[in-house]
Structure 1
């Protein structure tokens, strides 16, 4: 029997070493082999140049089974796929899914367990995953580690976030791989909850640029029933190894056969535009499980939210719970509560006047007084409004104005409590015709000991999307795991935060001017982001002269973000009275749609600049957004994407002559001119600035 095994292994080595798979363009090549110890390894080349050196693969089970060595090959299958599909909402009205596939059927000689390793090779990169087939009976197992390696070829320039199991809300660090060291970054950055256990662990997606001009991105797709993957960094030999987020007892994942891991993805190109425009992550997810998607619609909204961040109002009704009547236990109002019936009507009037679809109201429900930081379980019931918020009156008033209300569910991290109340909360939404909900997960998770990025929480976020879909409701999650394309499968998962959003500019050291130039290469690869742009009153001293905080962009850049930061759910985040002071600039926010027919990335360099133009799904109008980092920038854009023999009215919202994100952030000019597809448009961006352009056909 040992000799037979040896023969199988030797034959396997010969067959596997002969196996190579190319992308459809033949520019990307993946080679798979087994070492002399039967350990699976792979390499990746791009245009003949090494991108990933020999890197090991595999899984370690809790029972001690090492599914990362002593394998034999049983079979190899290849396939190719080329198709188009139509997203419900998106940057494109049709997406091509074109790849070559190879599956290695492996048998583990120590345990007789079988595992398949599947590669899909696209023109923009490669994806692979582990599959555990069903054999005779269901096999339950616990994963204690995943030993997937990504051995890159040099000390690449890298955009990275600390490997925090509970938060992605950091500014990006830009250093060589060899200089990654979390102990050297500023941890006092406004993040209340930090779960960092290693100085050399980073989050994915990890964006890199080599000295030779290659752009490389390591990420994952279709994370379901599995923890999020972080990356442990060996700064000396440039080795990256998967690190799975543990649960409360230290295990990584509980699985059964048949099951699969998420896809591990590597994008590579010598053109940064290929990375930011890639739909590979989306393609790796399953098609929509929702048959009737007619109720899933893009939304532009305003809301009672920013005024709490700037200190004008509060989420809570009574401040500390000590502010109670001792006999009746009734809450005593502070007078600063934002979510009142009267204030909500004011936002509804503003939305109706300016053509917005919805109004978000945060702080409408009881429970906000003392939950934060106390790790309480039963904080909210998601159905009981404060005394000054008449939910029925608000409903009728909004309906009379043809405005939809957006529900807010802050779970306080108490996941079990939210799941217990979820059906009643959705019933309330249905009763008062709320089409969408913004969920929040601020604070430490309950059940205690779980992390935001663990398997249980991944399953929870996906479960909420599924249950909302059952009730024809859309969901926008905040403080969740970062998306990995799941909105293809459940397109009612309309947006998520899962990164450092615009609110950090109101009360912390803020977001770096380069922040928005990195996000499209990282966070947005996995799905649309509710970044909440559109802040016009840039400096917070307008609310309190003692405040020094400010938004780290110009006003014109805030407009451009509506194009560069894709989302079918877009908020005009500032206060209505602030928009009333700048109605000429506000016109762009009113005009720009949130669902697109096609998108073209014209210029891109992570951490530096981005220029994208998109065509409205329902008209011939185009909208362009261009942003830069802390450096001013001049560029010239060809408008050859416009229809020939058609004249367009171009309205250009640009930084003023003296504009600067810190010194003169509100300096802007609006220029109107006639253009055609032969026009070359010169754009000028201030430090931390941007340009927004609307292009509308002129009736001839």
Structure 2
């Protein structure tokens, strides 16, 4: 599925031991990169967009445990430039075809001092940004080595507006802060975010990536990474005076950052830039920097929508655990049930019936397996075996019932953070899924990680997540990982790794202060830059859904519909309870209709933290779906329909906020209208405070 159009090598190589002149440059369209060695022999790079500075001269380098890393003076021994322009097709995604067009500059460096180790820095310049990484060639002087620090810098020219969350070793589930870089201080937020299970953020000036920036000169800049394999996640330390960002790698249990053996390489460091916010969201730079699929057969990978026994647990209607504790036993030594266990056969069949009735592909069930009485907060290894159901969950009966209804069951494997225990059971767990016909699994890592001392975003766990994706692929199972490291485009390499959480999803509206209306307008520019998220949209009962009556989902119902288009995932949950959907089946029709795989995507209008309008064309059909969302401010959003096929007439079904809708005062008020449109038509969508609109376009 990978079709190369052309590759042109330009003769720029220099004799291996000759000192090459600097600076060296590479460019494509409006983006240019310059590499140079400073007077002290330290390498640096610069990025410009047209004549505007994006990254000013910034240091490159790495510190090794043996003191012989690439943090001292280096000699430039040669360089090459090549141009690549190719097109490839993802197994699933937001578009059918992806163009991978870049100019690559490879710089060969050698230490001036003994032992004279060699390092390559590879830059790829795209029309919408730059990716670069360190590569360690095979060499006598470099076998096994330990990276202690990465010196990569992003020296920004001004005090940009930033959308950021704390740089935490174990979670990406904070609310976003909008501030100038000079105001970054995460200490208060980390301390008060008690609803997050594990928080480790020792640097008050550290922010996580993807980091979204808006410059006063009109540029939009996103800093992240791509293809994070066998390496810890990169965070960024903010020098609030100089606006210089410096890489901070998540440490392991002994304080090191990465154990490597040459030949090796780091992940790509990415800078996406444009003078249009819409271009940031349309960028495929991060996907393009990942390797092609390692799976030769991908026909079994199927995007789907699903419902699940999950939200009712989040809001306290039922529970994951079967008994109050492991010590509540009857005379026969059996667990005494509380009567509140959600994952029981009769309840699961109810969800299967709803999925079948509304043509949804799957049903997820959490809390089906023994261990939930002892799973949280104990830092305990052997909690779950991933194959033993509770007495009231009949695996075979449920599987047969679902199959008879044309519905597939989605497995749930919560590890309680004990990744070692999960790895010991991996093959058995996935054989169990194969036996009972589960095509997908949602994994979870709530709690402190075992091996003890490791972090969710460190090198060990990054490799664990890849091992899980590989094991799942071996058994033809797709995976949705929760509490994982944030995505970096690895869904291209492992297309069965279809989604992750790694961010603050809709669930926080169930048990915390929730997420403000601007949250979903920031997430596409931050968390979603690296890949799809299991955000769990589709909540229809927006208030009075939990025992206290104090919490509320901070959107309108129409905005929940729009999220199916604006927040992409090939695994999309209809997260609310069947009975809540049954009260609004006319609105639920949009969830039933909207696809999860696309041939084309157009970012119609966007501004981080304010609004977003996205249109997508269904896979293999001339049907379009549009989602438009706003923050706490009401808006009138004009939408030109020039993405529709010229000369064709479409019926537009518009699911919109009612005139009196408001996320605080009247969130469930919506109206559904129909009209005939063409590619020359324009819609004007009225978005209520915290509101949105969803539109389907089907040809007449």
Q: TM-score when scaled to structure 1? A: 0.96
8 Å contact kept, 1:40–1:68: no
How far, CA to CA, are the matches of 1:297 and 1:321 in structure 2?
39
How far, CA to CA, are the matches of 2:329 and 2:202 in structure 1?
41
How far, CA to CA, are the matches of 1:186 and 1:240 in structure 2?
20
Matching residue of 1:43: 46
1:342-366 deviation line (CA, Å, top 9, x unaligned)? 1111111111111010000000000
Partner residue of 1:568 out of 558, 570, 575: 570
How far, CA to CA, are the matches of 2:658 and 2:182 in structure 1?
40
How far, CA to CA, are the matches of 2:121 and 2:309 in structure 1?
49
Matching residue of 1:159: 163
Mind listing any 5+ residue stretches in structure 1 that lack a counterpart?
1-7
User: SS state of the match for residue 586, structure 1?
Assistant: helix
Matching residue of 2:223: 218
8 Å contact kept, 1:600–1:614: yes
Matching residue of 1:342: 346
Matching residue of 1:641: 643
1:44-76 deviation line (CA, Å, top 9, x unaligned)? 111111111110000000011240221111111
Q: C-alpha displacement at 1:644, in angstroms?
A: 1.3
1:608-641 deviation line (CA, Å, top 9, x unaligned)? 1110100001211100000011111112111011
Matching residue of 2:665: 663
User: SS state of the match for residue 287, structure 1?
Assistant: coil
How far, CA to CA, are the matches of 2:188 and 2:463 in structure 1?
34
8 Å contact kept, 2:488–2:530: yes
How far, CA to CA, are the matches of 2:545 and 2:298 in structure 1?
44
User: SS state of the match for residue 382, structure 2?
Assistant: coil
1:281-329 deviation line (CA, Å, top 9, x unaligned)? 000000001011000011100010000001000000002223223x543
8 Å contact kept, 1:40–1:69: no
How far, CA to CA, are the matches of 1:377 and 1:144 in structure 2?
29
How far, CA to CA, are the matches of 2:581 and 2:435 in structure 1?
32
1:459-487 deviation line (CA, Å, top 9, x unaligned)? 00011001111111100000000010001
Matching residue of 1:372: 376
How far, CA to CA, are the matches of 1:373 and 1:70 in structure 2?
48
Q: Does 1:53 align with 2:59?
A: no
User: For 1:254-265, what aligned pairs fall within 5 Å after superposition?
Assistant: 254-265=259-270
Matching residue of 1:602: 604
Matching residue of 2:678: 676
User: SS state of the match for residue 596, structure 2?
Assistant: coil
Q: Does 1:16 align with 2:22?
A: yes
Q: C-alpha displacement at 1:682, in angstroms?
A: 0.5
Q: Does 1:322 align with 2:327?
A: yes
Q: C-alpha displacement at 1:538, in angstroms?
A: 0.4
User: SS state of the match for residue 16, structure 1?
Assistant: coil
1:209-232 deviation line (CA, Å, top 9, x unaligned)? 011111011100000000000001
Residues 66, 555 of structure 1: alpha-carbon distance in 2 compared, 3 angstrom cutoff: same
Matching residue of 1:653: 655
How far, CA to CA, are the matches of 2:235 and 2:601 in structure 1?
30
Matching residue of 1:103: 106
Q: Does 1:480 align with 2:484?
A: yes
Matching residue of 2:4: none
Matching residue of 1:229: 234
Q: C-alpha displacement at 1:662, in angstroms?
A: 1.3
Q: C-alpha displacement at 1:37, in angstroms?
A: 1.5
Q: C-alpha displacement at 1:143, in angstroms?
A: 0.3
Q: Does 1:115 align with 2:144?
A: no
1:178-237 deviation line (CA, Å, top 9, x unaligned)? 000112436433212111101101101110001111101110000000000000110000
User: For 1:238-257, what aligned pairs fall within 5 Å after superposition?
Assistant: 238-257=243-262
User: For 1:178-197, what aligned pairs fall within 5 Å after superposition?
Assistant: 178-185=182-189, 187-189=191-193, 190-197=195-202
How far, CA to CA, are the matches of 2:541 and 2:70 in structure 1?
56
Partner residue of 1:273 out of 274, 278, 294: 278
Matching residue of 2:594: 592
User: For 1:509-528, what aligned pairs fall within 5 Å after superposition?
Assistant: 509-528=513-532
Matching residue of 1:363: 367
Matching residue of 1:4: none
8 Å contact kept, 2:315–2:545: no
User: For 1:56-205, what aligned pairs fall within 5 Å after superposition?
Assistant: 56-110=59-113, 111-136=115-140, 139-185=143-189, 187-189=191-193, 190-205=195-210
Matching residue of 2:313: 308
Q: Does 1:298 align with 2:300?
A: no
Q: C-alpha displacement at 1:137, in angstroms?
A: 8.0
8 Å contact kept, 1:157–1:177: yes
How far, CA to CA, are the matches of 2:522 and 2:122 in structure 1?
30
User: For 1:545-556, what aligned pairs fall within 5 Å after superposition?
Assistant: 546-556=548-558
How far, CA to CA, are the matches of 1:48 and 1:136 in structure 2?
43
How far, CA to CA, are the matches of 2:264 and 2:361 in structure 1?
41
How far, CA to CA, are the matches of 1:53 and 1:542 in structure 2?
51
Q: C-alpha displacement at 1:525, in angstroms?
A: 1.1
8 Å contact kept, 2:510–2:546: no
**Larger mean Cα displacement after TM superposition, 586-595 or 36-45:** 36-45
8 Å contact kept, 2:130–2:271: yes
How far, CA to CA, are the matches of 1:393 and 1:615 in structure 2?
38
How far, CA to CA, are the matches of 1:192 and 1:137 in structure 2?
44
Q: Does 1:495 align with 2:504?
A: no
8 Å contact kept, 2:16–2:77: no
Q: C-alpha displacement at 1:16, in angstroms?
A: 2.1
User: Superposition RMSD on alpha carbons, in Å?
Assistant: 1.3
User: SS state of the match for residue 483, structure 2?
Assistant: coil
User: SS state of the match for residue 92, structure 1?
Assistant: coil
User: SS state of the match for residue 307, structure 2?
Assistant: strand
Matching residue of 2:211: 206
Q: C-alpha displacement at 1:9, in angstroms?
A: 12
Matching residue of 2:9: none
How far, CA to CA, are the matches of 1:151 and 1:548 in structure 2?
45
Matching residue of 2:6: none
User: SS state of the match for residue 472, structure 2?
Assistant: helix
1:489-517 deviation line (CA, Å, top 9, x unaligned)? 01000111110000000110001111111
User: For 1:399-438, what aligned pairs fall within 5 Å after superposition?
Assistant: 399-438=403-442
How far, CA to CA, are the matches of 1:599 and 1:433 in structure 2?
33
Partner residue of 1:620 out of 619, 622, 627: 622
User: SS state of the match for residue 122, structure 2?
Assistant: strand
Q: C-alpha displacement at 1:542, in angstroms?
A: 3.8
Matching residue of 2:10: none
How far, CA to CA, are the matches of 1:10 and 1:50 in structure 2?
33
Q: C-alpha displacement at 1:157, in angstroms?
A: 0.4
8 Å contact kept, 1:9–1:72: no
How far, CA to CA, are the matches of 2:210 and 2:537 in structure 1?
23
Count of aligned positions:
684
